[in-house]
Amino acid sequence: MQGNVPTSQSNRPVSPTLIELAGVEVGYHRTAVLPPVDLSIAAGDAVGIVGPNGSGKTTLVRTLLGLLQPVRGALSFPARRRPRFGYVPQRAAVDVTFPLTAFEVALMGRYGLIGRGRRARGADVDKVRAALDDVGAGELGARPFHALSGGQRQRVLVARALASEPEMLVLDEPTTGMDLPSEAAMLELVRSFTARGIAVVLVSHQLGAIAEYVETLVLVAGQEHPIAIGPRAELLGSERLSKIYEAPIEVREVEGHNLIFVRHMR
């Protein structure tokens, strides 16, 4: 999180920083699409990158992952190496036409560790099975990936990311299309990863879905608005969110939880 400032959500000691962005402007063809970003993410952090559709969230994430170079500013790795990333794309971006089993899809997470042209060994198979068990999908291994439900596919994709032994998990719209029980189960699963010291970055336009599961929010609203970064409790304000989403947003605290509404216009 920014500056590794401890929050009331976490009593753990300060963890090693994995990645730092200092005045980073992201974009394409040397043209920035967002204002400068100052962000630090440490092991075990839970960060939510949220904002309306088309606001620039994906561009920021692609820069974090090293798929895009910053237009300006410095992106650095205090440990002097890029952390191991596990990336879970949007379900809509996954081709389900290939005749692969859930296990074979999860095994893809080991390819970077196995090396080109080499076969998976027993240790790799064990890691994949453990990852599937970790996400509650152990019994799905032999089933065709295309035959799984949306929530089951998402769990398998998270297992694929876990099989790569990541230091940072990036999940893009992890709850889209899920019913409420599946959404809650997925986000509780994500919470368990941060307890192990894995940094988690959740990317979503559904602020209400992920707000309770992150410590730090990164509010992205395009080039016209400065990026707001800070503890969740400081950024969940009705006025700020109404400006970002260009709609009358209301935030209410109910039994210690923040509920986010769009007020109906009369």
Asked if 24 contacts 70 with a C-beta cutoff of 8 angstroms, the reply is yes
How do 72-76 and 17-25 pair as beta strands? antiparallel
Q: Which amino acid is at 190?
A: V
Sign for the pseudo-dihedral over CA of 58, 60, 63, 65: negative
Asked if 97 contacts 181 with a C-beta cutoff of 8 angstroms, the reply is no
- Measure the CA–CA gap between 172 and 118, rounded to whole angstroms: 30
Of 216, 252, 251, 250, the C-alpha closest to 232 is 216
Alpha carbons within 13 angstroms on the beta-carbon side of residue 248 total 4
pLDDT value of position 1: 46
The pair of structure tokens assigned to 92 is: 């809509």
pLDDT value of position 31: 93
- Measure the CA–CA gap between 129 and 137, rounded to whole angstroms: 9
Cβ neighbours of 241 (radius 10 Å) = 22
CA distances to 20, 25, 26, 148 from 30, rounded to whole Å, are 21, 10, 9, 41
- Provide the 8-state DSSP code for 145: G
- Provide the 8-state DSSP code for 79: T
pLDDT value of position 37: 94
Asked if 1 contacts 42 with a C-beta cutoff of 8 angstroms, the reply is yes
- Provide the 8-state DSSP code for 75: E
For residue 157, the Cα-to-chain-centroid distance in whole angstroms is 13
pLDDT tens-digit profile, the chain (266 residues): 444 444 444 455 678 999 999 999 999 999 999 999 999 999 999 999 988 888 889 899 999 999 999 999 999 998 878 899 999 987 655 666 778 999 999 999 998 887 766 788 889 999 999 999 999 899 999 999 989 988 888 889 999 999 999 999 999 888 777 777 878 888 888 888 999 999 999 998 877 777 888 999 999 987 888 888 999 888 877 777 777 777 777 776 765 666 676 765 55
- Measure the CA–CA gap between 211 and 231, rounded to whole angstroms: 11
pLDDT value of position 9: 45
